[in-house]
Every structure is written in C-alpha cells, then in structure tokens.
Copies of this chain bind each other. A is one copy, B any other.
C-alpha cells in the first residue's frame, strides 16, 4: 500500500494535470481520486481546506515545474533564442496533447482570480517566478533592470496570449509568430543598448 505522504503527493500531481487541461470548476474530487488511484475519504484528511487548498498546491507544483523548464531553456542562451525554443516546446506540447496542455496555471487564473484569494495568490506567485527568470536572463544580456522587467512582462504576456490563441484556433502558428516577433524585439533592444553603451563609454545602460 502506498504511504500516506505518497497519497497526498499523488493527489496534488493528479490535480495539477487535470487543472492544466480542464480548469478548476470542471475538476472534482471524484476525478482527482480516480486519476491518482488514492482511497476515497483521504482528501478530507490531507486537504482540510478543501478543493481550493488542493488546487493552490497543484498550481504551486505546476508553477515550480514550469519555472525549472523555463530556466533550462534560458540557460546559456540569448533570451531571443530562448523565447523561440520555449514557444517551439509549447507548440509541440499543444499539438501532441490535442490542444489540451497549454499554460499550467492560466485556466485556473482566469476562472478564479477574482473569487479566490488563495488561488489568485498561487497563480500570481507562479507567474512572478517565470517573470523573474525572464528578467534575470534579459539583465544578464545587457539590459538595465527596469527595461528588463518591462520586456519580461511583454514576453510572458505574449507567450500566454499566444498559447491562448493557438489553443482556440487549434493551430500552433500563432505562438510561433508571437515568439518570432518577441525575439525580434529582444534583439532590437539589445542592439540599441549596445549602441548607447558604445556612445557613452559603457556606463549608461549596462549595470544601471
């Protein structure tokens, strides 16, 4: 028999998979228990805060997994190239899952952000870690922190929206188009920063 701790982890992992595909309202305890092959009744013991607690933990788990994926894509690469690679991987995931597996937190965020403090906080925290990963990489490639933060917001929003459009249209082309446009923006900004840096002797933008 699985250990208690294993039961709990399996429920969170199942919830994370189901929330990504179908969202919060459509995901019930019955399905989580069946999908995770855990005993009925254990949910009340492990999640006294109910489905909201389970979902918040699932979003946190998904967010951390996606952060690792994103940091892997960004490592030792210019962010412009990383955005293309990220979109390619996301497009492949969409296609292979029949347009089901997009962003692991977006559906829950849109369904519940206004009505659940716990879920809004979990979704927002996940998005913030992805934003930080992007902003750090953009700073490492020469941008000032404020500009890098704004560019990271643009990139994250663009990829999220691109995934949404791709899912609705059941066509990966929109996410690929968005990633090429974002890469062009990142390269143009890097060129502008390098030019300004050259003119000012290196003290104006880098390390600001």
B177 x A113 contact (CB < 8 A)? no
Interface size class of A (residues with CB under 8 A): 35 or more
B25 x A167 contact (CB < 8 A)? no
A153 x B177 contact (CB < 8 A)? yes
CA distance A157 to B110 in the complex (A): 15
B164 x A109 contact (CB < 8 A)? yes
Interface digits, A140-155 against B, CB 8 Å rule (1 contact, 0 not)?
Answer: 0000000000110110
CA distance A107 to B168 in the complex (A): 10
Picked from B22, B161, B177, the residue with its CB within 8 Å of the CB of A159 is B161
B162 x A157 contact (CB < 8 A)? yes
Residue numbers of A with Cβ under 8 A of B are 21-26, 97-100, 102, 105-107, 109-111, 113-115, 120, 123-124, 127-128, 150-151, 153-154, 156-162, 164-165, 167-170, 174-175, 177-178, 180-182, 185, 188
Q: Other than A107-B110, A150-B177, A158-B161, give 17 A-B pairs with Cβ distance below 8 A.
A: A21-B114, A25-B111, A26-B111, A99-B120, A109-B167, A109-B168, A113-B167, A114-B170, A120-B167, A120-B170, A127-B168, A153-B178, A157-B158, A158-B158, A159-B161, A161-B164, A164-B164
Would you mind naming 28 contact pairs between A and B with Cβ atoms under 8 Å apart?
A22-B25, A22-B115, A23-B23, A26-B111, A98-B114, A106-B110, A106-B164, A109-B167, A110-B164, A113-B170, A114-B167, A114-B170, A120-B167, A124-B168, A124-B169, A127-B168, A150-B177, A153-B178, A153-B181, A154-B158, A154-B177, A157-B158, A157-B165, A157-B174, A158-B158, A160-B165, A161-B162, A188-B188
